Amino acid sequence: MNTFRIFSTCNIGEEALERLTKRGYQLEVYNEIDPPPKALILEKVRSGIDGLITTLRDAIDEEVFNAGIGSLKVVAQDAVGFDNIDREAANQCKIPFTNTAEVLTDATAEFALFMLGCVSRKLYSSELIVRNRVWKTWHPFSPILGDEVTGKTVGVVGTGRIGKAFAAKCLGLEVDLLCADPFPDEAFVKDFQKLLDLRFELGLSKKGNTIRYTTIENLLGSADYVSLHVPLSDETYHLIEEHALHKMKKTAYLINSSRGPIVDEDALHAAVKQGQIAGAALDVFETEPLPEDSPLRDSEIVERVRLFHHFASGTRETRLSPDPEIGMAGRCVQGLIDVLEGNYGGNPNNMPFVVNKEAFE
């Protein structure tokens, strides 16, 4: 039996966590809905735990890693994004950390598409019209109309796993796709184009759609929908600010399911309010939860801005499945087990869920 001591900053899913206790691990879970204070995380790390399970709400910085030198063997993050983890500090302390890439790709990509549809077709306003008894009769254009997605141009900013999956989910909408990425995957675009051509040949789309890489400037200027799929870094912080928003079409929508700080929210508020863009749908924010005084809560833009509670990966399957091939909880626990039990020859560099492999080359 294993005697590893683990502290989990959150109940990431009972069934997955049970996999640890069944193996003999001593597991302590911070069972509140809110995250634990940093001081508690530090206290647990200083007490000599072997593994720390974290969520994107926990700041796992130099102080935490330094406190773990000599005892902490792994940080297992229950998310694909890890901008809350100081990678350099992890590397200096030679502590591997893991994430849950891949298992949330489809959930996040489909949510981005649904947000796009929601804001463009005014689903929220339509429901309010019914609920508030504003709906008196069928009429061709009163009280509102939406913007049709079919046949438009969708811009995909960032063509990693989620950006590509999002593009794939757009297929049935017969849109043209413009992609921007500092590391273009030309093979992906080539294969995708074959698929678009085949759909046209088979009569499954009315016109031959296209997909291609372009610059972010061109994408912003040409797309009817701009969907963000980039990780948060120094390069992507406020990627969408005043000037970028000015480049977008007045009829275009911005969709963000990646990280909040990629969009300058003050600039976005101004752009929507002044009609420089048609609207936005956001699942992530510069500060989460969205502050009471956020400009995005402005009642004058409520019809054109959809706000969600960092929910893109929030399906039962994706969040909770104990299976590492299906759920974040399962994959998070598996990443922890791999490191602690020395799977893959005990070399973190060979472990599929370890992020900072470079520290172990």
Residue 353, token pair as written in the block: 């869920």
Q: Min. distance of Cβ 80 from ligand GLV in angstroms?
A: 4
Query: What is the b/e burial string over 278-312, where b = at least 16 CB atoms within 10 angstroms of the residue's CB?
Result: bbbbbbbbbeeebeeebbbeeeebeebbbbbebeb
DSSP sequence for 143-194:
S------TT-EEEEE--SHHHHHHHHHTGGGT-EEEEE-SS--HHHHHHHHH
Residue 344, token pair as written in the block: 């893959």
Query: What is the b/e burial string over 211-226, where b = at least 16 CB atoms within 10 angstroms of the residue's CB?
Result: bebbebeebbbbbbbb
Residue 123 burial (C-beta neighbours within 10 Å; 0-12, 13-18, 19+) = middle
Q: Min. distance of Cβ 136 from ligand GLV in angstroms?
A: 41
Q: Is 259 a catalytic residue?
A: yes
Q: Min. distance of Cβ 58 from ligand GLV in angstroms?
A: 13
Sign, CA torsion 141/145/148/152 = positive
Sign, CA torsion 169/171/174/175 = positive
CA 81 – CA 284 distance, rounded (Å): 12
CA 41 – CA 38 distance, rounded (Å): 5
Of residues 205 and 313, the one with the C-beta less far from ligand GLV: 313
CA distances from 120 to 209, 253, 270, 287, 299 (A): 20, 7, 19, 25, 18
* Residue 294 near residue 303, CB atoms below 8 Å: no
Judged by the rule CB under 6 A, the positions of this chain that interact with ligand GLV are: 56, 79-81, 104, 313
Of residues 260 and 295, the one with the C-beta less far from ligand GLV: 260
Of residues 105 and 276, the one with the C-beta less far from ligand GLV: 105
Q: Is 288 a catalytic residue?
A: yes
Q: Min. distance of Cβ 208 from ligand GLV in angstroms?
A: 35
Q: Min. distance of Cβ 82 from ligand GLV in angstroms?
A: 8
Phi, psi of 184 (to 5 degrees): -60, 140
Q: Min. distance of Cβ 283 from ligand GLV in angstroms?
A: 8
Of residues 106 and 176, the one with the C-beta less far from ligand GLV: 106
Q: Min. distance of Cβ 77 from ligand GLV in angstroms?
A: 8
Of residues 79 and 290, the one with the C-beta less far from ligand GLV: 79
SS3 (DSSP) at 336 = helix
Annotated catalytic residue within 259, 269, 306, 331:
259
Of residues 79 and 179, the one with the C-beta less far from ligand GLV: 79
Instruction: Decide the pairing of beta strands 211-213 and 279-282.
Output: unpaired
CA distances from 347 to 23, 73, 211, 351 (A): 21, 12, 40, 7
Of residues 55 and 214, the one with the C-beta less far from ligand GLV: 55
Please enumerate in sequence order all residues whose Cβ is within 8 A of that of 357, keeping only pairs 6 or more positions apart, or say none: 348, 349, 351
Catalytic residue IDs: 259, 288, 310
